Amino acid sequence: MEGICGRKGDRMIKKWYRVQRLKAIFILALAVVFTNAVVSYSNTVKLISNQESVTSSYKVVTELESIQSNFKDTEIAQRNYLITADADDLQTYVAADQKTNSNIQIISKLTADTHQKRQWISLLEPKISNRLNILQQEISLRQNQGFEAVRQQILSDRDKQSSKEIQHLIHDSLKVEQNLLHQGMQQSQASSQKAIVTFFIAAVVDLVLVMLLYDLLWRYIRQLQQTELALRQSENRLRAMIDAEPECIQLIGGDGILLEINAEGLAMMEVESADVLIGKPIDAVIVPEYRAAFADLHKSVCQGNKGTLEFEIVGFKGTHRYMETHAVPLRNESDGTFIHLALMRDITQQKQAEQKIREQGLLLDVSSDAILVRNIHNQILFWNQGAERLYGWKTAEVVGNNVLQLLYKDISPQLEDAYLRVMNTGEWRGELHQLTREGKVIIVESRWILIRDDNGQPKSILSVNTEITQQKQLEAQLVRSQRLESIGTLAGGIVHDLNNILSPILMSVQLLQKKLPDSQSQQILQTLENNVKRGANLLKQVLSFARGIEGKHTIVQIQPLMAEIEQIITQTFPKSIICQTDIPKNLWYVRGDATQLHQVLINLVVNARDAMPNGGILRIAAENLVIGEHSAQINIDAKVGSYIAIVVTDTGMGMSSEVQQRIFEPFFTTKEVGKGTGLGLSTTLGIIKNHGGFVNVYSQVGRGTQFTVYLPASTFRDTHLLSPELESIAGNG
């Protein structure tokens, strides 16, 4: 690019120097021609002035000679007449006299603008006039008195002296004028020679300039011819390139008239000759609803702006095409305006494909499953509305992102196996754990299909994901319930057998206490009795869990129970544990066994205490809650209706997901040996189920645990079953 710009700059500099040189030579030629013209004009003026001076002198000399000759003729004719008295001589005299007078008038005019000449003419003219008068008097005297009288007059010295003065004056004037004529002729000849020399010098200079200009013009013309040839070749190459362009190229004037179009454009317009289109309005082939938008684009381009537009045209054979134009302004160097260069391409197939994709997209969006497409680099290409609903991200937020970073915490072996299997076999089906936008972990049943390009190479992967989180939770709850039921059945038989074993031992201990009254024996037997009763009590708890704990149910208020629990926590729990309660006054009633519900709360708060060995916050809350159909589907034990939700929350060590799956199993405990039996939560679950309720657990390691107990609320018509100690409280409530 820099080389092209450099060469272009060199060409511009050379062109500038060439133009400047032509200008300089042209100005020099004008200066020389002007100088030659001035010199020639000056020489011509001088030559003309000299010529006029010579001509004037020549005329004066001629007239003086004529005066001299005519004056002599007048005197001779007058003398002849005086002697002969012949009439012909008189006529000759009269004619010579008239010529003399005429010559005097002519020479007076010729010397009117010359002061020196006018002076001697003023001397000559009266003398000649006086002499002519004398001659006329002599003729009159001859005619009146005769020859003798005239002869006496002629012989007088005065007459001779006057004639001599005239002749002498004419001779002097003639000599002066001849000298002036000679000088004028010499000056005229010198001026002529100078003019000739100047002319030849100017001619030579002009010839040199003409040759130089001719050479420069010839070179310039040759260069113009070469430039024209290069431009013609460039135009032909450009035309060939434009015609070879697989897209329509148009040049549109500011008035919307088509100026140029390439071969592909003719094919799109369905015409064979450009003459059909050139000179016609360009919007003639545009569908009417797009003409206003195209006019706005054309107006903007003619103002020097670029633009893009999609529109529809109709060819001369009726074919509809969708076009995409990229408009660029081209400056007209002559007047500074812009014309419209349009590069158009046919996007009909693209539009049809987009329409088909939109239709397919609508079909995919109707699906409740999450459908997404990613390339082999795991970048998301397609994301339907089902995926938006399932994961929470909008399409614009995820397209182009890495699906592994978006939906998975880490790359599990199962995910790697799925990718390898779909690349090898073309499909895969299985279950995956994924993340939503809120960070919630969901379980999906995923089907992967490999999509290949035209060459058979892997191009993208289509995934269809169906959420089965609730289904998996229900299955897990069902399996857990079945497992607990089996354990309960087994535990019932074991407890029955152990009770049969412990009963004779207890009876024997009591019999030995009566037969061995000494203190040492009593102490040993008492210890033995206590342990037997403790074992029986443990078996009773197991049996209660196995049988579901049946007892007498009454209408129970939760508020007094929770108040008692709060008192126990305050009195017995470490001071490092802070108890917070939130019990509304309008809390509904529960139909159940107050003692068993008390045991449930005790078990939960004791577990919370054990989870906070270094202290923390223990919060107990309750609220009225109505469970609908959607919420009932989440938990297998839940039913539609009114419930009281009791929430026990601690800020203790929390539990892992593996521990959470086993906490309700009998004899399962994470406590040290001797600090727990593993029957507390299993008994709690049995009591809650016996009351028709269910329990949810949420826990994070290091962040604490939350137990939520849901107990069915009792209707108001059951309040007549209130226990006597709660009737007064219920009445005040």
Higher-pLDDT residue of 593, 68: 593
655 CB neighbour count, 10 Å cutoff: 20
Give 483's pLDDT tier (boundaries 50, 70, 90).
low
* Residue 343 in tokens: 């590069």
For the chain, percent helix, then strand, then coil, each to nearest 5? Answer: 60, 20, 20
pLDDT at position 721: 44
- Nearest-angstrom CA–CA distance, 453 and 460: 9
Q: Residue 195 to residues 52, 186, 188, 297, 301: CA-CA distances in angstroms?
A: 16, 14, 10, 72, 66
Query: 643 near 693, Cβ under 8 Å?
Result: yes
Query: 319 near 270, Cβ under 8 Å?
Result: yes
* Residue 140 in tokens: 């009159």
The string of pLDDT tens digits covering residues 462-471 is 999 988 888 8
Give the sheet arrangement for strand 248-252, strand by strand.
258-261, 248-252, 338-346, 320-331, 307-314
* Residue 482 in tokens: 């079945």
Q: Strands 441-452 and 427-435: what pairing?
A: antiparallel
Is the pLDDT at 116 greater than 70? The verdict is no
- Nearest-angstrom CA–CA distance, 689 and 272: 88
Give 250's pLDDT tier (boundaries 50, 70, 90).
confident
Is the pLDDT at 443 greater than 50? The verdict is yes
Residues 347, 349, 353, CA angle at the centre, nearest 5°?
115
* Residue 177 in tokens: 């004028």
- Nearest-angstrom CA–CA distance, 295 and 495: 94
Query: 269 near 285, Cβ under 8 Å?
Result: yes
- Nearest-angstrom CA–CA distance, 259 and 633: 73
Measured in degrees and rounded to the nearest 5, phi and psi for residue 506 equal -65, -40
What is Dmax (Cα atoms) for the chain? Answer: 241
The string of pLDDT tens digits covering residues 191-229 is 777 778 877 887 788 788 778 878 877 887 888 788 788
Is the pLDDT at 617 greater than 90? The verdict is yes
pLDDT at position 733: 33
**With helix as H, strand as E and coil as C, how does 51-68 read?**
HHHHHHHHHHHHHHHHHH
